[in-house]
Amino acid sequence: MSHFVPPVKDMMFVLDQFIGLDQLSRIKGCDEIDKEFLESIYDSASQIASEVIAPTNVDGDRMGVSLEKGKVSVPRGYKEAYGAYVSGGWSTLSCNPEFGGQGLPSLVSMPVNEMVMAANFSWAHLVLLTNSVIRAVETHAGSSLKDLFLKKLIAGEYSGTMVLTEPQAGSDLSALNTSAVPNGDHYKITGQKIFITWGEHDLSENIIHMVLARLPDAPEGVKGISLFLVPKYLVNEDRSLGERNSLEAASIEHKLGIHGCATCVMNFEDATGYLVGEMNQGLYCMFTMMNDARIGVACESVAIAERAYQQALTYAKDRVQGEAHGQKGRTTIIHHPDVRRMLLKMRSQIEMMRVLVYVNTLELDLAGFDQGHSQRADLLTPITKGWCSELCQEITSIGLQIHGGMGYVEETGAAQHFRDSRITTIYEGTTGIQANDLIGRKVIRDQGQELRRLIAEISSEIKALDSNEQRLQLIKEYMIHSIAMIEKSLDYILQEHPKDPFLAGSVSYNFLMMMGTFMGGWVASRSAAIAIMNLKNTEDSEFYEAKLVSSTFFIEQCLPLVDSYSKSLMSGSVSTMTLTEDQF
């Protein structure tokens, strides 16, 4: 099993050269953030990720978690890793200084999140879901709840969960029936929830559950859902812990992957809860957490893919098998063309995914200052989450394939990344949900205005590529063709969907994947141009040469999928919807 090395240089390439640190200066209080400051943060984060958290990954998978009498036991090393993470102040990076945070943009903390998730995906959910709870409480809770809970959450003394799903409802939140009955200054919450990530543990002194429930006179459907803060232990006015609340973990799920993460069935029986936000506005409040978590899942996808790539690369350099042209005798498999193809596909896609996640995160950081950035963040979020998580499945599968038979057995660890990654297309809304959100709410609803604005910006950038640079000519030609296909597909959807009620749902997946691949092409184009400008820098010439090759590989080998997705979606809904139920 390979040692995990956080790709700090690639992360800094995105922040410093692709995005540009001047973008951070647009955020209040961030005008003095420079390259040296960020490198110092990421070097320290790299150390705790690789040396403290990563060693718990294998034990977490093999030992798993267990539940006895309502208490969850965690794998060895988890408590020490959590203590080191919290004492190092890593939980406070992008949080409000008013409540003990460091006030840095989410863009600065995202590379740290990526390192932590790659180090131990199961463990990382504990600390990163808490960030989403912090965002929801700060945005929607009243001052008394903020005063009582935010400092502890930010400091890592409390952790947080998202409590949405019920057995009979699944992703259909309109079917929720957990009840909330008024009782003085609080509510009594009763119901059963499933798939609650880190719903029970003893790593933090308290767990704050953000629970969706219905008031007695609530309207039916999603318009009748409210959000409640339900602590594991009640908290006194002086912030000391009070009595245990009436909730418990009834069981833990036995899952395909993320064995080191306690995914719980939670029972609430007249548990004390506090309303967050307005009555019957719970879904609106929860989406503050959901959108934050969706970018988090996209980052998870990059992280697991990176871990799988590093392991596959190490194996390919070590495994001696067969002969290759230009090599004497038996050689390592990295010299075989097909293995190199697989490695480059993994590498190039990861690089494009990482940039898209960071760009989307910046748009969210800027959304509070400008409506245009808010619209752009809304458009990009389902693309980023859906495309990155789908590619993660392919990348971890390729990593297993490079190991051959040794990848299929658990000994090498390649299978764990494959198993763990499978949750990413399901977490926080499946790919189908992301695709429907993109085509319906983000494109059809505004008649494609924001998407056309994005296409125009990318088109302008592509046309401005240096026409005298031969290495950019192919990239330019491929991208101009892809832009035409995107525009043609958008026109088709806007023209045909009023005539066909099944069209949007039938083509939404192909539309999302087409847009993700296209955004990857944009990333590859700009990355290649940056690499060419820096090739004269002899100190880093190998880094930029590799960046140019991986970007060109993506353009040549991956971007043509835009055509395939476009043709598929423009075939309409007929073949998808023709069979009767009995014919399946």
Measured between alpha carbons, how far is 454 from 267 in angstroms, rounded to an integer? 45
Q: Where are the alpha helices (DSSP H) in 368-463?
A: 371-403, 405-408, 414-421, 431-436, 449-463
Output the six-digit token pair for 257. 């992957």
Tell me phi and psi for residue 233, to 5 degrees: -115, 135
For residue 76, being part of any structural domain is answered with no
529-554 burial: b if 16+ Cβ within 10 Å, else e = bbbbebbeeeeeeebbeebbebbbbb
For residue 128, being part of any structural domain is answered with no
For residue 566, being part of any structural domain is answered with yes
Domain containing residue 457 = 430-577
DSSP string covering 155-224, please? HTSEEEEEE---TTTTT-GGG---EEEEETTEEEEEEEEEEEET-S-SSSSEEEEEEEEB-TTPPSGGGG
Q: Is residue 18 packed enough to be buried (19+ CB in 10 Å), middle (13-18) or exposed (0-12)?
A: middle
pTM for the whole structure? 0.96
The residue annotated as part of the active site, out of 114, 390, 428, 450, is 428
For residue 175, being part of any structural domain is answered with no
List the pLDDT tens digit at each of the 584 positions of the chain: 668 999 999 999 999 999 999 998 888 778 889 999 999 999 999 999 999 999 999 999 999 999 998 999 999 999 999 999 999 999 999 999 999 999 999 999 999 999 999 999 999 999 989 999 999 999 999 999 999 999 999 999 999 999 999 998 877 787 899 999 999 999 999 999 999 999 999 999 999 999 999 999 999 988 999 999 999 999 999 999 999 999 999 999 999 999 999 999 999 999 999 999 999 999 898 888 888 889 999 999 999 999 999 999 999 999 989 888 888 889 999 999 999 999 999 999 999 999 999 999 999 999 988 899 999 999 999 999 999 999 999 999 999 999 999 999 999 999 999 999 999 999 989 999 999 999 999 999 999 999 999 999 999 999 999 878 898 999 999 999 999 999 999 999 999 999 999 999 999 999 999 999 999 999 999 999 999 999 977 789 999 999 999 999 999 999 999 999 999 999 999 999 999 999 99
DSSP state of 89: T
For residue 402, being part of any structural domain is answered with no
For residue 422, being part of any structural domain is answered with no
Catalytic-residue membership of 248: no
For residue 463, being part of any structural domain is answered with yes
DSSP string covering 236-288, please? -TTS-EEEEPSEEEEEE---SS-TTS-EEEEEEEEEEEEEESSTT-HHHHHHH
For residue 583, being part of any structural domain is answered with no
What is the total count of domains within the chain?
A: 1
